[in-house]
Amino acid sequence: GSDADATKGGAMDQHVRLHISKAINTGLIERCNGAVKQGKEAIVYHADGGKNNGCNTILEDGRDGDDWDKKAAATTMATNDNVGFDVAIKVFKRIKEFRGRGEYVDGDPRYAGRPFRSLSDRQQLEVWTEKEYRNLVRAHRSNVPVPNPIYYKDNVIFMRFLGENGWPAPQIREIQLRKGSSKWHVLYEQVMESVAKLFQDARLVHGDLSEYNILEDLQTVLIDFGQSVEVRHPKAEELLRRDLQRVNEFFTKQGVTETMSIEDAMAFV
Ligand code: ADP
Ligand code: MG
pLDDT at residue 104 in the model:
92
Q: Which atom of ligand 1 is nearest to the CA of 162?
A: 24
Residue 8 pLDDT greater than 70, yes or no: no
The enclosing domain of 86 has a CATH number of 3.30.200.20
- Residue 193, ligand 1, Cβ within 6 A: no
Give the separation between CA 132 and CA 155, rounded to whole angstroms: 10
Range of the domain at 237: 169-268
What are the phi and psi torsion angles at 133 (to 5°)? -65, -45
What is the tally of structural domains in the chain?
Answer: 2
Answer yes or no: do 74 and 101 share one domain: yes
Does residue 4 sit within a domain?
no
Instruction: Give the model's confidence band at 76: pLDDT under 50 very low, under 70 low, under 90 confident, else very high.
Output: very low
CA-closest residue to ligand 1 atom 2: 41
In a domain, 1, yes or no: no
Q: How long a stretch of residues is the chain?
A: 269
Same domain, 183 and 153: no
Give pLDDT tens digits for 126-151: 999 999 999 999 999 999 999 999 99
Reported confidence tier of residue 14, pLDDT bands at 50, 70, 90:
confident
pLDDT band at residue 66, thresholds of 50, 70 and 90?
very low
**125 and 218, same domain (yes or no):** no
- Output 108 or 7, whichever has higher pLDDT: 108
Residue 238 lies in a domain: yes
208 labelled catalytic: yes
Per-residue pLDDT reduced to its tens digit, 244-262:
999 999 999 999 988 889 8
* CA 50 / ligand 2 centre spacing (Å): 26
Query: For residue 194, is it within any domain?
Result: yes
d(C-alpha 243, C-alpha 228), whole Å: 11
Q: Are residues 18 and 111 in the same domain?
A: yes
- Higher local confidence (pLDDT), 257 or 236: 236
Q: Tell which one of 7, 215, 217, 220 to mutate to probe ligand 1, the residue whose CB is within 8 A of the most ligand atoms.
A: 215
- Say if residue 147 is in the same domain as residue 33: yes
Per-residue pLDDT tens for 86-101? 999 999 987 777 888 9
Clarify whether residues 204 and 153 are in a common domain.
Answer: no
Between residues 22 and 63, the one the model is more confident about: 22
Band (pLDDT 50/70/90 cuts) for residue 79 is: very low
Q: Helices marked H in 96-227 — which ranges?
A: 102-106, 121-141, 182-200
Which tops the pLDDT comparison, 39 or 199? 199
Same domain, 148 and 23: yes
Residue 31 domain-assigned (yes or no): yes
Task: Using a pLDDT cut of 70, give the percent of the chain over it.
Answer: 84
- The ligand 1 atom at the shortest distance from the C-alpha of residue 132 is 6
Domain match, 71 and 160 both: yes
- Judgement on whether residues 251 and 232 belong to the same structural domain of the protein: yes
Question: Domain with 254 in it: what CATH number?
Answer: 1.10.510.10
Mean pLDDT of 22-29: 91
Confirm or reject: Cβ of 159 under 6 Å from ligand 1: yes
Residue ending a domain, choose from 167, 189, 215: 167
Which of 144, 167, 190 is a domain's end point?
A: 167
Task: Name the residue of 90, 95, 208, 212 to mutate for ligand 1: max ligand atoms within 8 A of Cβ.
Answer: 90
Domain boundary, last residue among 105, 139, 167: 167
Do 160 and 235 sit in the same domain of this protein?
A: no
Residue among 37, 144, 173 to mutate when testing ligand 1 (max atoms within 8 A of CB):
37
In a domain, 9, yes or no: no
8 part of a folded domain? no
Torsion of CA 219, 29, 209, 72, to 10 degrees: 90
Q: Which residues surround ligand 2, an ion (CB under 5 A)?
A: 213, 224
Tell me if 47 CB under 6 Å of ligand 1: no
What angle (nearest 5°) sits at the alpha carbon of residue 146, between those of residues 29 and 158?
25
Average pLDDT on 211-235 reads 97
pLDDT digits (tens, 9 = 90+) for 165-193: 999 999 999 999 999 999 999 999 999 99
Q: Are residues 150 and 182 in the same domain?
A: no
Average pLDDT of the chain, as a whole number: 86
For residue 147, which atom of ligand 1 is closest to its CA? 23
Residues 230 and 187 in one domain: yes
